[in-house]
Amino acid sequence: MSAAGSGSVEVREVSKLFDSLVAVDGVSFSLEPGIFFALLGPSGCGKTTLLRMIGGFEQPDSGLILIGGEAMEGVPPYRRPVNTVFQDYALFPHMDVATNVGYALRQQRPRLDKAEIARRVEETLELVRLTGYERRRSWQLSGGQRQRVALARALISQPQTLLLDEPLSALDAKLRAEMRTELKSLQRKVGITFVFVTHDQQEAMSMADRVAVMRDGRILQDASPEAIYDDPVDTFVADFVGTTNLIHGHLGATEGVGVEVLCDCGIRLVGSPPRQWPAHGARVALAIRPERIGIRPRHSTEVGSASGIEGTHISGRVAHRTFLGDHLSYRVTIQGVGTLDVVATRSVPTATELFTVGDEVTLEWTLDATRVIPDVGRTTSRSPGGSAPADEGAGQWEGAEE
């Protein structure tokens, strides 16, 4: 099955208000044909509203949406070169699988002959691995099978772009993991653009070529999964995508190729420089992923902490340990700092020591394991024309992106 048309999607400064709530706030992005693009964010961030505007189910209050190079202003959903897979799949309960899948073809004008419809239904069911299920009703199918029927029904008319609104949310954890693999494989086979909405970072990171992290109607970061994980733009993205340790403080002086963070707890740490340089004293956080921290026994002669461009070591006490087979998860209490999470792979020699609760340990990391990022806090305003309220240090980021 091949895509019809180019499959490009362009969103230009699109905004949408519901009464006094800014649901989508000046969002822009451009998708090349055949990409798997994920809109990732918490409930209420505007991701589903944005998807519905691309599909034509909602109209922007301002801005422009182009699909395949053509402006979609005033174009109803059924005339757009897209199809949508909804959260509840929206299958017709009185129809069997084959009739559900072929429904869109039977509505086409000029009409297709029955043999062509049957051929396309057979081809599409084979694509989603449902051959032999043609005469079953939706209530006779499992959750994963119903999802594949919904996908087949959306794909049979060969849209340029497929929109997916949290299609895995109703499945159990094991089936969700299986369907992530199937969905990515299916997208590669059909070769069309997928726009996938989810609040689940594992779904987005495991399937998408590009991920846009949304908060309060805006895109905070639009990049590859690897870039978002390794180089988050601020504390919200770092905390929302995966597990991270955030040590809060103020920006200090430059330290060779690094930058000094004067932590709220009173210690001084050195981290990798921020993307954009803030004013001295701006609110920042030192971000470190748990798997980038080494753990070893504390030597009796070691000082409590030391940090520089050559790396950092800091002493603490194991407060919690979780054995997870191939790796161990530790929570270590650092005096004045709080707790840091550490993930140790058992193939690493020090991890085989199996530290227990109460053990004195030293944590260590290299400069490139850290990121110094803006501390954006946890609350923002979404009043029309408004902006996020200023946390301490907000507005001091020179050239910071909205």
The CATH number of the domain holding residue 198 is 3.40.50.300
Residue 350 has pLDDT above 80, yes or no: no
Confidence of residue 90 (pLDDT cuts 50, 70, 90): confident
Q: What is the pLDDT of residues 102-146, one digit of tens each?
A: 998 988 878 889 999 999 999 999 999 999 999 999 889 988 899
> Is 398 within the bounds of a domain?
no
Q: Are residues 39 and 90 in the same domain?
A: yes
* Chosen domain end from 180, 200, 230: 230
Number of helical (H) and strand (E) elements in the chain, helices listed first: 8, 21
Closest to 232 in 3D by CA, of 387, 370, 36? 370
Residue 296 has pLDDT above 60, yes or no: yes
Q: Are residues 201 and 135 in the same domain?
A: yes
**Alpha carbon distance 320, 364 (integer Å):** 18
Q: Are residues 185 and 269 in the same domain?
A: no
Residue 274 phi, psi (nearest 5): -70, 165
Q: Are residues 324 and 216 in the same domain?
A: no
> Is 400 within the bounds of a domain?
no
Closest to 381 in 3D by CA, of 18, 5, 6, 21? 21
The count of structural domains within the chain is 2
Q: What is the average per-residue pLDDT within 12-22? A: 95
Count of alpha carbons within 13 angstroms of residue 139, beta-carbon side? 3
Q: What is the average per-residue pLDDT within 175-200? A: 92
> Is 402 within the bounds of a domain?
no
For the record, the structure tokens of 87 come out as 């959260």
Q: Are residues 277 and 365 in the same domain?
A: yes
Confidence of residue 59 (pLDDT cuts 50, 70, 90): very high
Q: Are residues 96 and 53 in the same domain?
A: yes
Q: Are residues 173 and 150 in the same domain?
A: yes
Q: Are residues 164 and 302 in the same domain?
A: no
Q: What is the pLDDT of residues 378-396, one digit of tens each?
A: 544 344 444 333 333 333 3
> Is 235 within the bounds of a domain?
no
Confidence of residue 402 (pLDDT cuts 50, 70, 90): very low
What is the pTM assigned to this prediction? Answer: 0.85
Q: Are residues 45 and 116 in the same domain?
A: yes
Exposed, middle or buried, 344 (CB in 10 Å: 0-12/13-18/19+)?
buried
Q: Are residues 26 and 91 in the same domain?
A: yes
Burial 39-49 (b: 16+ CB within 10 A, else e): bbbeebbbbbb
> Is 392 within the bounds of a domain?
no
**Alpha carbon distance 196, 193 (integer Å):** 10
Q: Are residues 279 and 223 in the same domain?
A: no
For the record, the structure tokens of 339 come out as 């707790």
- What percent of the chain is predicted at pLDDT more than 70? 89
Higher pLDDT, 253 or 18: 18
Q: Are residues 125 and 169 in the same domain?
A: yes
The CATH number of the domain holding residue 349 is 2.40.50.100
* pLDDT at 64 (0 to 100): 98
Q: What is the average per-residue pLDDT within 309-320? A: 88
